[in-house]
Structure 1
């Protein structure tokens, strides 16, 4: 088994570096040269804190519980050692086309993002990665498994379906990763996870990664894992949100929110922007309103088919559109480092949703701005978020789109207007509902008993 060069002294707590001290490279951490080359092609040469702490331990086969805020490099903290061990660890059987590692994630969007990240890192290795999730034809995923797969990334429902059909072979798996475990708990996937875990070999390395660690997740992990090391990438009393993210919160009248958002989007330093809403209907309405005002906007919400959602996300990543309106189901699958603004069009329902939403900006050392529009009927929700996270903003000011304080706080130019150009079409626009069928739903809608990751969405 490979011995890493610089095993961290404090694997279970936060650490700080002295001025000018460099983060270790992946070579320093003992990673295979082929993976180092793949990461270098992506412009990644040095490690984040969670990677520095996790990779040496994971390379030695230890079970890990990794905790770090959104956007701090969790994917490669488990992905790099997973690929390394599958590639050339003597303790793992030779590749034969059946999965050696399984990564379980809560949403389709996150499955795509994690799968893509692992494929890019494995570019110079023979490791084959396949992404499996609901909303896509079974046939193409079964064909991929039959052709041979070494690492499977997937959502719980579809993984169970393919396992029960006999298409997903788990007897040769040596590594299990649960990514964003807190979200899977919120989405009711805990029984599915237990079922999959029970089908895996007992001699299994397990890594559990998430931004937060609710009690039920820790209880499950500790009952099944082998003396796991609990890693935190920062001190226990570190803030839950990025220090590089400026948080602006104010009360906004529901009827004025469209005008407020239109003006925020005209700030000179505004780049890629994500606008979050609680409901699919609001997401669709906000996206349509902005498109009519001339903004280049895409939408990701549950009324859209999987192809439309993937098209909108890809356009956002490629900067074909610079605004994405999304419900929370998309929050865990958007991995774009240079998002300058996040706008909470509706106040999140709970503190952790707030943390995950605004974690889309201020990532990887970039600065960002997170703006929350608190409706008059949402003040109690903001009180809960403020108290739980210690944000020290108990009484948000009341601003309108015409308020001087609003313009000053968010650098809105005097030239900002209600529209910026001719009307456009929303990328990923909601198709018109059929007039037939019960409750006006078309027959292509989600079946009543269909899992959240099999063609519908959690929100």
Structure 2
């Protein structure tokens, strides 16, 4: 048998097609014998011509060989390295002659490709097409390993490689996905059976809460920032009919009276009462149910899922020493949010539970060292998490409590593939928590895929809205006026004012930061292009009031909790209206008031309608020019839609873009 080893190849042909010298000689001899043995009168047959090899095919199949615009015949010539000419004048009994010229092996390759194309398999016992030599990851039997004087028949090869009878030269072996899925399910079932049971229920309902009437519950929810609670997919899931939504608690003691250590930690923080989302979330999560929490940032969502997580870890039947990985996994979209969650976790010392934050930009070596020493909570950004899981440093098969924090932001940043990849290795009977500031279709799809009968908790409204503690001001300006207005704002800042200025581009952040430094203005900057240590230092400086001006991109629009930010200045209007809401939410936090200043130019007119809705909902002043801008944009959209309809009616393509399309005024 001739094995296909690297030093046996002679790189002839194109692409990934290789031919053994020994097999090529055998192919020449065998092909010559076969040509001499063929009988004239077959639909497909060949003969030697002084100018090359002549084969005949059924005239009705010539079109297959030529292809549209000659594309197929060019492809056959490229693959075989032979010249192929069709002679329609040389016909015999409904057959058309094809003359193939070139080197002997090239002629043979072309003939075999043509025979394969027109569907005649009678001579497939001599085929040396690229199928036999493809460098795909087939099993050893898929490669050409022939004896010196024998070639496998087409039937033998098809049976061994499980190739389709209609396969093209580039087809790979057929794959039965049903069998693979069944084997995968069996493997996972066996794997999860070795992990032991999960305990989820830790809630002891206070008698006062249990005795609340439906009217009392509805009144409490209405008076606490319009809490809305419902089953997410109750119309689609019959099992949801058996899911009871717990009544909201009103005090810390009603939730944690059976956990004195937790109560002690809460007292240390000096909280007076639970926030609205905490009142409803704690009974749900302590009862072991999946939950989706939708509320604006700064409403206490982190503590809402964190305290039940601590109780969940300590209450598992499998001891921590027997675990090969963490019990709790918290995924966050940005490094800043992940670090902030880690900081929040560090405030609560409960039964020796340890946590680590793993994120891109941080020291991978240090993160691995902490993970290997053993932790119960992992807070991670999706990229670094996948890195450590693939490196087998982090075992997520022990995760029994999963949190997807700021899920909408993770999807906006394109992390859905990484999230889904990670969740493959997390046991399916886990408890899952998802938090989000909005409820877009992508978040719904993710919830439906990975949560079981989740209960949805809304705080406020499902409609996009900015916090009402912020005064929102909109200014219509030209692009060249922006810098002057920003400098004027800086000159009028009071001694206790603190501002985050948002930009659309990292380069503009760097430019203005340098300009302010030259003018002696003390500021800091943060964006995705800065080193992690610099980003952390920027946040530390603004929090400590060492600087009172932070220049930022949307990296800072979510998950950064700086309670005493008094102003948000939108130098560049954000790319979408959801991001505007999150930027505004950086001020007016923790019961304080704040002010948002946004500069809008002509190019921002697509956001006018959405911005008007947000301003009106929060009872803010709406500039008359903003209404006019929204009307012009709607009129422009209608005009473009009509032009497209007219173009389709006349069978033309869409109209060419005019150089005046950007001149919207």
Instruction: Report the TM-score, using the length of structure 1 for normalisation.
Output: 0.79
Alignment partner of 1:80 is 2:281: no
Deviation at 1:236, TM superposition (A): 4.4
- Of the structure 1 ranges 150-159 and 262-271, higher mean CA displacement relative to structure 2 is found in 262-271
CA distance in 2 between partners of 1:390 and 1:119 (Å): 40
The residue that corresponds to 1:48 in the other structure is 275
Alignment partner of 1:291 is 2:520: no
Deviation at 1:317, TM superposition (A): 1.5
- Of the structure 1 ranges 327-336 and 125-134, higher mean CA displacement relative to structure 2 is found in 327-336
Higher RCO (CA < 8 A, seq sep 6+): 1
Out of 280, 285, 296, the residue aligned to residue 69 of structure 1 is 296
Partner-residue secondary structure (3-state), 2:307: helix
The residue that corresponds to 1:431 in the other structure is none
Partner-residue secondary structure (3-state), 1:377: helix
Alpha carbons of 1:236 and 1:291: their partners in 2 closer, same or farther (altered >3 Å)?
A: same
Deviation at 1:61, TM superposition (A): 1.1
* Within-5 A mapping of 1:148-297: 148-236=374-462, 240-265=465-490, 266-268=492-494, 271-297=497-523
Partner-residue secondary structure (3-state), 2:252: coil
Deviation at 1:376, TM superposition (A): 3.6
Partner-residue secondary structure (3-state), 1:54: helix
The residue that corresponds to 2:572 in the other structure is 346
Query: Which structure 2 residue ranges, 5 or more long, are not aligned?
Result: 1-201, 226-248, 627-665
Q: Looking at CA atoms only, which structure, 1 or 2, has the larger radius of gyration?
A: 2
The residue that corresponds to 2:50 in the other structure is none
Deviation at 1:387, TM superposition (A): 4.7
The residue that corresponds to 1:433 in the other structure is none
Q: RMSD of aligned C-alpha atoms?
A: 2.5
Partner-residue secondary structure (3-state), 1:163: helix
Out of 312, 333, 338, the residue aligned to residue 111 of structure 1 is 338
The residue that corresponds to 1:2 in the other structure is 203
Alignment partner of 1:135 is 2:361: yes
Alignment partner of 1:329 is 2:555: yes
CA distance in 1 between partners of 2:332 and 2:590 (Å): 22
CA distance in 1 between partners of 2:392 and 2:421 (Å): 15
* 8 Å CA contact 2:408, 2:442 repeated in 1: no
CA distance in 2 between partners of 1:92 and 1:313 (Å): 40
CA distance in 1 between partners of 2:529 and 2:224 (Å): 47
- Of the structure 1 ranges 286-295 and 167-176, higher mean CA displacement relative to structure 2 is found in 286-295
Q: What do residues 328-349 of structure 1 show as CA deviations (whole Å, max 9, x unaligned)? A: 0222231111211011110111
Q: What do residues 119-175 of structure 1 show as CA deviations (whole Å, max 9, x unaligned)? A: 112x24311010000012221111001111100000011101101111111121110
CA distance in 2 between partners of 1:2 and 1:315 (Å): 41
- Of the structure 1 ranges 337-346 and 249-258, higher mean CA displacement relative to structure 2 is found in 249-258
Alpha carbons of 1:338 and 1:203: their partners in 2 closer, same or farther (altered >3 Å)?
A: same
* 8 Å CA contact 2:262, 2:350 repeated in 1: yes
CA distance in 2 between partners of 1:4 and 1:286 (Å): 56
The residue that corresponds to 1:15 in the other structure is 222
Q: What do residues 205-224 of structure 1 show as CA deviations (whole Å, max 9, x unaligned)? A: 00000100211211221232
CA distance in 1 between partners of 2:583 and 2:625 (Å): 19
The residue that corresponds to 2:89 in the other structure is none
* 8 Å CA contact 1:107, 1:329 repeated in 2: yes
CA distance in 2 between partners of 1:40 and 1:59 (Å): 20
Instruction: Report the TM-score, using the length of structure 2 for normalisation.
Output: 0.55
The residue that corresponds to 2:546 in the other structure is 320
* 8 Å CA contact 1:132, 1:153 repeated in 2: yes
Q: What do residues 297-320 of structure 1 show as CA deviations (whole Å, max 9, x unaligned)? A: 110012211111111111111221
The residue that corresponds to 2:622 in the other structure is 393
Deviation at 1:389, TM superposition (A): 6.8
Q: What count of residue pairs does the alignment treat as equivalent? A: 389
Alpha carbons of 1:363 and 1:355: their partners in 2 closer, same or farther (altered >3 Å)?
A: same
CA distance in 2 between partners of 1:302 and 1:65 (Å): 29
